Amino acid sequence: MTSPLERHPYGEHAIVLPPKSQTTHDAADIDREIRLLMYRRLHEIRQFEKRAYDMFMQNLVKGTTHLSLGMEAVAAGFGATMREDDYTFATYRGHAHTLARGVPMEGILAELLGRSNGLLGGKGGSMHLTSVEHGMMGSYAIIGAHLTIANGAAWSAQYRGSGQVAVCFFGDGTTNIGAFHEALNYAAVFSLPVVFVCENNLYMEYTAISDITAVPRPAADRAGAYGLQPVVVDGNDADACYLAARDALEHARSGRGPVLIEALTYRHGGHSRADPGKYKPPGELEAWLAHDPLKIYRGRLERIGVPSSALDEIESQVGQAVDAATEAAKNGPLPEQALAYTDVWADGGHSWRN
């Protein structure tokens, strides 16, 4: 008997190619204003993540970062569909989803720099972005743990009859964690208004998900075990994500229970800034770069008649916003030393100091 990773040398698994068509949703029933909003979101996420990378390389970012370069369409598509009072739960790769809920760039960048004008006062960093007022209910570092928390938020909404939906994003590696199966089963049994979104970027940290998973689609192929329909979408196409999100949110909001979506996407870099990504087989990155979310979407908008000058203007405005947020973040004061004693458990864990 051999283990999966003994079947071939590390990094020499088969190349996984992106979908071939980039024109599938040209005629989709999506308002132009929503499409322009998604185009802006795509560029906000892309330019923000590039700036975060640059600042990390300048040794300005405290801790590591997990970027969503190449994965922007999932956050943009779902964010454009959600109600303001819906809930977002994300992993430590949460910059994109935080931006997609309308959280200002300055607070996020300042948080990465550990400044007091950061989203969490400089105390949470890149991996724990949270803004309850924007419906961003947290970025979670424990793999799979937040699926059960999303269930709790969904159950609260169901109990209160608020019509809110919890949308929980996670990576392909989460599908081999016990909490994934527990959360799906629980949500299905109680018909909770929750949408689970697997951002399948093909790699669970440094290992191809296909090497250690019994089914080809780690999320969708398991949907039937919980009485759910398998849904697979092109996670690099913002329109595909928007349409899937629109249907899923309507389904959950109407009381018909949870939805599980697998969005096929690809991260351009490594798992984190400590990872050069050398395990990716030759030619795979190049194939997915040709299926880049921003390239796909600009081409579509131009084909349906949006002037190139209007798209250029959006990109320029986003660039200016990123520059302004960068300066504000860099000029933010460091947290006062006394803040080290706030937002922590004290007195043997029996009281909360803030």
231-234 vs 207-208, strand pairing mode:
unpaired
Q: Strand, coil or helix: what is 191?
A: coil
272 lies in which domain range? Answer: 30-322
Question: Checking phi first, is residue 211 left (phi over 0); if not, alpha (psi -120 to 50) or beta?
Answer: alpha
For helices 293-303 and 72-79, the axis angle rounded to 10 degrees is: 50
Q: Strand, coil or helix: what is 131?
A: strand
Query: Does 55 fall in a domain?
Result: yes
The label of the residue with tokens 């990773």 reads 5
Structural domains in the chain (count): 1
Using CA atoms, how far residue 191 sits from 24, 58, 226, 247, 351, in Å, is 32, 48, 11, 16, 35
Cα Rg of the chain (Å, integer) = 20
Kindly provide the residue ranges of all beta strands, DSSP E only, lying in 164-249, ordered along the sequence: 166-171, 194-200, 203-204, 207-208, 231-234
The tokens of 198 are what? 């697997």
Query: Does 76 fall in a domain?
Result: yes
Listed in sequence order, the residues at least 6 apart from 163 whose beta carbon sits closer than 8 Å to its beta carbon are 83, 157, 193, 253
Listed in sequence order, the residues at least 6 apart from 31 whose beta carbon sits closer than 8 Å to its beta carbon are none
CATH of the domain at 66: 3.40.50.970
Query: What is residue 14's predicted lDDT score, i.e. its pLDDT?
Result: 73
Kindly provide the residue ranges of all beta strands, DSSP E only, lying in the chain, ordered along the sequence: 87-91, 136-140, 166-171, 194-200, 203-204, 207-208, 231-234, 259-264, 344-346, 351-353
Query: What is residue 26's predicted lDDT score, i.e. its pLDDT?
Result: 93
Query: Does 129 fall in a domain?
Result: yes
Query: Does 353 fall in a domain?
Result: no
Query: Does 344 fall in a domain?
Result: no
Query: What is residue 23's predicted lDDT score, i.e. its pLDDT?
Result: 74
**DSSP conformational letter for 199:** E
3-state helix, strand, coil in the chain (%, to 5): 45, 10, 40
The torsion of the CA quartet 150, 155, 161, 165, rounded to 10 degrees, works out to: 20
Distance CA 298, CA 18 (A): 18
Q: Which amino acid is at 276?
A: P
Query: What is residue 8's predicted lDDT score, i.e. its pLDDT?
Result: 56
pLDDT by residue for the chain (354 residues), tens only, comes to 555 555 555 555 677 888 776 778 999 999 999 999 999 999 999 999 999 999 999 999 988 899 999 999 999 999 999 999 999 999 999 999 999 999 999 999 999 999 999 999 999 999 999 999 999 999 999 999 999 999 999 999 999 999 999 999 999 999 999 999 999 999 999 999 999 999 999 999 888 999 999 999 999 999 999 999 999 999 999 999 999 999 999 999 999 999 999 999 999 988 887 788 888 999 999 999 999 999 999 999 999 999 999 999 999 999 999 999 999 999 999 999 888 888 777 655 555 455
Query: Does 8 fall in a domain?
Result: no
**What is the model's pTM?**
0.93
Q: Which of 5, 22, 13, 14 is nearest to 299 (CA)?
A: 22
Query: Does 338 fall in a domain?
Result: no
Query: What is residue 354's predicted lDDT score, i.e. its pLDDT?
Result: 52
Distance CA 293, CA 235 (A): 8
Query: Does 281 fall in a domain?
Result: yes
